[in-house]
Chain A
C-alpha cells in the first residue's frame, strides 16, 4: 500500500492563555491508496487538505491517529521517507532562478544521494519522458511558466520517487500547458508506476489525471470513489436552460428542480431517473412562453459542489 491513513486527527491551538481557540483541521480521517493509483484529493478551502498532506509528508505531527506512506511513519522517519517521495507544491520552486535546470539538478541529485553517473542517466531519461531536453540548459528565468513546471516536475522526479504529492501543480498555466502537464503526469504513472496524489481546484485536473477522487471537508472524507462514478452520477441529471419571452410563474413538474429563475430565463435540473427529458420538454413548451431552450450535461463542478455540501461519511 502506498498511503494508509487511519483516524488521523490534527488540532491546532491559537490565542493567548485564557482566550485559547482550538481548530480541528483534520478529524478522524481515514483512507488508503494503493501503489500505482492516480488519486485526486479535493475539498473546499479550509477542508483540511493541506494539513493532511503535511502530515503525510512528515512536515506536521498529528494529534491522534496513524498513517504510513510506503510503510514509513512520516513524522517519525521524515528524512527516510523524503528519499522515496516527490513533492511539487505549485508556488514553491525547486530550481534556482539564475541557473539552468541541469545545474540545479546536480545539487538535488547530490542531496538525494545520486552519484554523477546515475544523475546523468536520470536527467537524460526525464528529458526524454517529459520532452524537455531543450529546456534543461536554459536559465530558469528565461523559461515560460509551462516550461518551468516541466522542469520542476523533472526535479521532483530525479530520485525516482514511488509516490508523487502534487499541490495545485497547474495553477497559473495556460490551457495548452495544463493539458500537456496532465498528459505527463499520466505518462509517469502509466510508464513508471509512480503513485500520483494530486490536490487541485481545477476540475479538469481531476477529470484528465485522476482515476479516483477523495473529497474531504471539515477534516474528514465525505466522498471516496472513482472519478468515472462521479461522471455516472452526472448522467442521471440534465440541465435545461429555458429563455422566456415573458415573465411567468413555474408550475411544479415531477423530477424537476429549479436552479435559477428570472423574468427572462429559468434553469432547471432534471432527474432523469424520475422522469424523461422528452416529457419535461413537452411540458415546458406547452406551459411556458419559451423563446429558447437547450439541454446540457451539468458540469463536474456542480457535482463536486454538491458533494462538498454533504456531511461526512
Chain B
C-alpha cells in the first residue's frame, strides 16, 4: 500500500469541514449574491452612463469581472490573519511543531481545502447570476482559463496572508496587518475597480505587485480577455509568495525555538 500524500489528504479533510458547515456556506453564498448584485448593478449604471465602456469593459464584461473578484474574496476565510496571528502570538502554534510535517505546509493545505469548495460554489452561483443578468461570457475560451486562474488567485492570497500573519512571530498585534493587507488587495488587486481604470501611476505600481494575481487575473480572463500569460504570472507570483512565506515561517520558528513563545 503506497504512502498517501499528506497535503492532499489534509486539503480533502479540510473540505469536509465546509460540507459540515452547510449553514455557514449558505450564508456566504447569500452574501455573495447580494454583493455581486449591488456592485454589478452599480458598475452597469456607471458603464452605461459612460457610453457603454469604462477602461475597455462593457456592461457584460464588467459583470463577469465583478462575479470573479467577489468569488475570490468571499470564499476566503476573513479571520485567517487574525487567527494565525493569535496562534503565533500566544505560542499555541508551537504545538504544531510537534508533527513530522512543516507547520506552514499543513496550514496552507488545510486552508486551501476549506476555500476551494466555497470558491466552486461561488463560481457556479456567480456564473448563473452573470449569465441571467448580463448575458453569456464575452469569450468562453477566456472563461475556461479563468477557472484555474481562480484557484491560483485564492492560493496566492492564502499564501500571502500567511506571510503577513508571520509578522506575529516578532510583533504581537496583527490587527493592523490584516487591515493593511485587505486594502492592498482591494485597490492594487483590482477587487474594487479594474486596474485599467486606476490612474496611470497607480496601475504601474499594481502591475509589479502580487495583489493583481489574487483577484484581477481571473476577473480579467472572465471579462473576455484571452491572456494566458496571466496564469503564468500567477504561477510565478505563487512561487515567490511560497518562498517568502516559507522564509518568514522558518525564521519565525527559529525565533520561537530560541526565545520562546
**Beta-carbon nearest neighbor of A79 in chain B:** B100
Whether B99 contacts A98 by the Cβ 8 Å rule is no
B6 on interface, CB distance cutoff 8 Å: yes
Q: List 10 A-B contacts (CB under 8 A).
A: A57-B98, A58-B97, A60-B260, A75-B257, A78-B97, A98-B20, A110-B9, A110-B10, A112-B99, A115-B2
CA distance A98 to B16 in the complex (A): 9
CB neighbours of B257 from chain A (8 A): 58-61, 75
Q: How far is the CA of A78 from the CA of B136 in the complex (A)?
A: 55
Quick check: A82 and B10 within 8 Å, CB to CB?
Answer: no
Check if A111 sits within 8 Å of B2, measured CB to CB: no
Does chain A have a CB within 8 A of B4? yes
| Residue A96 lies at the interface, judged by CB distance under 8 Å to chain B | yes
- Taking CB atoms, residues of chain B closer than 8 Å to A113 are 3, 100
Chain B residues lying within 8 Å of A99, measured Cβ to Cβ, are: 13, 16-17, 20
Contact with A along B48-82 (1 / 0, CB 8 A): 00000000000000000000000000000000000
Kindly state the separation between the CA atoms of A60 and B256 in the bound complex, as whole angstroms. Answer: 7
Contact with B21, one of A13, A58, A98 (Cβ below 8 angstroms): A98
When A61-B257, A99-B16, A99-B20 are in contact, do A106 and B9 touch as well, CB less than 8 Å? yes
Q: A12-B259, A80-B100, A113-B100 are in contact. Are A89 and B13 (CB under 8 A)?
A: no
Given contacts A12-B259, A115-B4, A117-B1, A103 and B94 within 8 Å (CB-CB): no
A197 vs B10: C-alpha distance when bound (angstroms): 29
Given known contacts A116-B1, A116-B4, A139-B20, is B256 in contact with A111 (CB within 8 Å)?
no
Instruction: Tell me if B106 and A111 are in contact (CB < 8 A).
Output: yes
Min distance, Cβ A225 to any Cβ of chain B, angstroms: 29
**Known interface pairs A78-B97, A92-B95, A116-B4; A61-B258 also in contact (CB < 8 Å):** yes
User: B92 in the interface, Cβ–Cβ < 8 Å?
Assistant: yes
User: In the bound complex, what is the Cα–Cα distance between A106 and B98 (angstroms)?
Assistant: 18
| A171 CB, min distance to chain B CBs, angstroms | 15
Q: A60-B257, A82-B97 are in contact. List 6 more A-B contacts (CB 8 A).
A: A12-B259, A12-B260, A60-B258, A99-B13, A115-B2, A115-B4
Bound Cα distance from A139 to B257, whole angstroms: 34
- A86 vs B1: C-alpha distance in the bound complex, in angstroms? 24
Query: Closest Cβ of chain B: how far from A119's Cβ, in Å?
Result: 9
Given the known A-B contacts A60-B260, A99-B16, A99-B20, are A107 and B10 also in contact in the complex, defined by CB atoms under 8 Å? yes
A-B pairs with lowest CB-CB distance, top 6? A110-B9, A115-B1, A107-B13, A98-B20, A110-B6, A83-B100
Contact A107 B9 (CB under 8 A): yes
A112/B92 contact (C-beta < 8 A), A75-B257, A104-B13, A106-B13 known: no
Q: Is A267 located at the chain interface by the 8 A CB criterion?
A: no
Is A187 on the interface with B (CB-CB < 8 A)? no
Residues on B facing A (Cβ under 8 Å) = 1-6, 8-10, 13-14, 16-17, 20-21, 92, 94-95, 97-101, 106, 256-260
Query: How many whole Å from B121's CB to the nearest CB in chain A?
Result: 17
Total contacts A-B at CB 8 Å: 85
* Contact between chains at B16 and A87 (CB < 8 Å): no
Of B6, B16, B95, B97, which one neighbours A103 at CB under 8 angstroms?
A: B16
- A96 and B100 CA atoms in complex are apart in Å by 18
How many Å from the CB of B117 to the closest CB on chain A?
13
Contact of A54 with B by CB under 8 A: yes
Q: Which of A2-37 contact B (CB under 8 A)?
A: 12-13
Once bound together, how far apart are the Cα atoms of A139 and B106, in whole Å? 22
Which residues of the partner chain A approach B97 to less than 8 Å between Cβ atoms?
58-59, 78, 82
Minimum C-beta distance from A255 to chain B (A) = 47
Question: A179 in the interface, Cβ–Cβ < 8 Å?
Answer: no
B256: which A residues are within 8 A, CB to CB? 59-60
Q: Is A248 close to B, CB under 8 A?
A: no
Give the contacting residue for A82; candidates B1, B2, B9, B100; CB below 8 A: B100
Q: Is A51 an interface residue (CB 8 A)?
A: yes
Q: Which residues of A contact B94 (CB under 8 A)?
A: 54, 59
> Known contacts A57-B98, A113-B3: does B20 contact A92 (CB below 8 Å)?
no
**From residue B165, how far is it (CB to closest CB) to chain A in Å?**
18
Instruction: List chain B residues, Cβ under 8 A from A80.
Output: 100
Q: Which residues of A contact B9 (CB under 8 A)?
A: 106-107, 109-111
Task: Give the residues in chain A near B4, CB-CB below 8 Å.
Answer: 109-110, 115-116
Residue contact A107 to B6, C-beta cutoff 8 Å: yes
Given known A-B contacts A115-B3, A116-B1, A87 and B17 have beta carbons under 8 A apart: no
Task: Please report the C-alpha to C-alpha distance between residue A273 and residue B101 in the assembled complex, in whole angstroms.
Answer: 57
Question: For the complex, what is the distance from the CA of A58 to the CA of B94, rounded to whole Å?
Answer: 10
Known contacts A75-B257, A103-B16, A111 near B98 by CB under 8 Å? no
Question: In the complex, how many angstroms separate the beta carbon of B16 from the nearest chain A beta carbon?
Answer: 6
CA distance A110 to B106 in the complex (A): 11
Q: 1/0 per position for A52-94, CB-CB distance to B under 8 A? A: 0010011111000000000000010011101101010100100
